[in-house]
């Protein structure tokens, strides 16, 4: 017994040593290509931040460009109107992103409901049709929207007029009513099926014995959903939620770019679109870089905030 006791702790320790010595290089080497990629695509571009300190024009090397220091940064807040502009753009960004986060439970609900459908054929059909919009580019979505909502011979207006529900056609696309909500709904329409895939996978991963046991204990369908399915996919949901909070400020460009017009510009112009309109479309690259840097800093702050909250609320963090 004494020999046995002496041996047991010794053995795993030796194995751990061997493992650490021989295996770590292998693991490192396996990870290396990806580390290289991360370095190339996530860290190397940070070098580009240097452009925010120059008055840069393409083709002219930095050494010959005018050094402007922090002028682009101060310009963002230089006077009342400029500050209002920044505030407006940030407000739009935060509002649309918040709505996006609120609606992020929709795919969860949708996935659960989808799993409850008995007929496999119908389930497949629903899933295909809801996943499809994800693959349509926003440019095409806009032409579809224009066909549907145009004042002159748009489908919706024609329908409502024929039904006698309205007297004058509605100009839905050129209106500033509920722009944030409308944009969120377009986003939900496009992303619902796609977003549900991850949760469907999570549901499939739940042990069926749990359901059987619950049924034996007399749980109905709703009880099963509430006590087994929901807790089963909550971890997945939280990971995705935290990642989406880090992406809070990057709510993309293309959707808002295609739907933007003079009427809704003041409420649709999110940060990315603003950077495009001012920076790229008018080649103010230094200014655009400065705005993007501010954006990165805010993103970083939000990520740590979400992570910290997760630690407090759930006792787990992802970083």
Partner 1 sequence: MLRPKKSLLILVLVCILTVFTTACNSGGNNAADSASPSPGQAGSEGQNNGDSQVITDWSKEPEVTLSVFSVLANYAGEQPGWFAKLVKDKFNIKLNIIQGSTDRVATQMASGDLGDLVVGMGGKNYTDSIKAGLLLDWTKDGLIDKYAPNMQKYAPQALEANRKQYGGGTSIYGIGNNVGSGDGPSEGATMTFGPYLRWDLYQELGSPKIQTLDDYLPVLKKMQELQPKSESGKKTYGFSLWSDWDGNFSTLAKVTAQFYGYAETDGFNTGDMILVKADEAKYQPILDEDSYYMKGLKFYFDANQMGLLDPDSLTQKFGDVSNKFKDGQVLFAQFPWLVNVYNTPDHTSDGKGFALVPFAEEQIYSNGFNPYGSGWLWSIGAKTKHPERVMAFLDWMYSPEGVAEGYHGPKGMSWDVDAEGKPALTELGLQTMYNPDTPIPDEYGGGVWSDGAGNFGKLNNGTIITSSINPETGEPYDFNLWTSTLTRNPDPVTKSWREAMGVLTDKEWFVKNNQVAIMKPFFNGQAPAEEPSDIKLKHSQVGKVIKEFSWKMMFAKDQAEFDSLKQDLLTKAKGLGYDDVIKWQLGQTESTVFTMYK
Q: Alpha-carbon distance 55 to 214, whole Å?
A: 67
118, two tokens:
């008995």
| DSSP state letter for 226 | I
The answer to whether residues 192 and 130 touch, using CB atoms and an 8 Å cutoff, is: yes
Q: How far apart are CA 100 and CA 183, in angstroms?
A: 9
Q: Closest approach of Cβ 263 to partner 1, in Å?
A: 6
Q: Least CB distance from residue 63 to partner 1, whole Å? A: 12
Q: Which is nearer to partner 1, 280 or 318 (CB)?
A: 280
Smallest distance, Å, CB 310 to partner 1?
A: 35
Burial class of 290 by CB neighbour count within 10 A (0 to 12, 13 to 18, 19+): buried
Closest separation in Å from C-beta 16 to partner 1: 17
Neighbouring CB atoms inside 10 A of 133's CB total 18
First to last CA, the chain: 44
Residue 26 or 118 having the CB closest to partner 1: 26
Closer by beta carbon to partner 1, 82 or else 128: 82
- Contact assessment for residue 260 and residue 268, using Cβ atoms and an 8 Å cutoff: yes
Whichever of 132 and 140 has its CB closer to partner 1, that residue is 140
**C-beta atoms surrounding 24 within 10 Å:** 10
Give 262 or 313: the residue with its C-beta nearer to partner 1: 262
| Residues in contact with partner 1 by the rule CB under 8 A | 22, 26, 29-30, 32-33, 36, 55, 57-61, 64, 66, 68, 71, 75, 79-82, 85, 146, 150-153, 169, 171, 173-174, 261-263, 265-266, 277-278, 280-287
d(Cα 293, Cα 52) in Å, to the nearest integer? 8
Question: Least distance (Å) from partner 1 to the CB of residue 169?
Answer: 7
Least gap, CB of 144 to partner 1 (angstroms): 13
Q: Select 151 or 219, whichever has its Cβ closest to partner 1.
A: 151
Nearer to partner 1, 20 or 120 (CB): 20
CA–CA distances in Å: residue 95 to residues 11, 102, 183, 270: 58, 11, 11, 9
Least separation in angstroms between residue 164's CB and partner 1 is 18
CB of 143 to partner 1, least distance (A): 9
Q: How many residues does the chain have?
A: 319
Taking alpha carbons only, the member of 275, 244, 241, 269 closest to residue 255 is 269
Count CB neighbours of 282 within 10 A: 11
Considering the complex, state which of residue 68 and residue 246 has its C-beta at the smaller distance from partner 1: 68
């Amino acid at each position: 017994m004494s020999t046995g006791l002496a041996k047991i702790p010794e053995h795993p320790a030796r194995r751990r040593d061997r493992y650490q010595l021989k295996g770590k290089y292998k693991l490192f080497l396996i990870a290396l290509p990806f580390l290289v990629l991360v370095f190339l695509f996530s860290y190397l571009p940070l070098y580009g931040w240097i452009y925010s300190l120059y008055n840069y024009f393409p083709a002219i090397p930095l050494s010959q460009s005018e050094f402007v220091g922090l002028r682009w940064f101060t310009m963002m807040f230089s006077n009342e109107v400029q500050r209002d502009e920044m505030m407006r753009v940030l407000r739009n960004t935060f509002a649309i992103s918040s709505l996006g986060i609120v609606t992020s439970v929709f795919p969860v609900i949708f996935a659960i409901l989808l799993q409850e459908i008995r007929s496999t054929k119908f389930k497949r059909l629903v899933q295909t049709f809801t996943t499809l919009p994800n693959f349509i580019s926003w440019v095409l979505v806009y032409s579809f929207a224009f066909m549907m909502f145009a004042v002159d011979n748009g489908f919706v207006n024609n329908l409502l007029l024929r039904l006698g529900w309205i007297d004058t056609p509605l100009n839905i696309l050129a209106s500033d009513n509920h722009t944030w909500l409308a944009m969120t709904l377009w986003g939900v329409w496009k992303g619902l099926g796609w977003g549900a895939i991850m949760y469907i996978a999570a549901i499939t991963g739940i042990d069926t014995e749990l359901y059987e046991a619950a049924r034996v204990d007399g749980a109905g369908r709703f009880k099963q959903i509430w006590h087994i399915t929901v807790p089963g996919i909550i971890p997945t949901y939280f990971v995705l939620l935290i990642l989406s909070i880090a992406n809070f400020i990057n709510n993309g460009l293309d959707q808002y770019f295609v739907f933007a017009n003079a009427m809704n510009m003041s409420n649709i112009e999110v940060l990315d679109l603003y950077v495009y309109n001012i920076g790229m479309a008018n080649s103010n690259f230094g200014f655009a870089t400065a705005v993007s840097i501010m954006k990165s800093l805010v993103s970083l702050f939000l990520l740590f905030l979400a992570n910290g909250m997760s630690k407090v609320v759930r006792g787990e963090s992802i970083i």
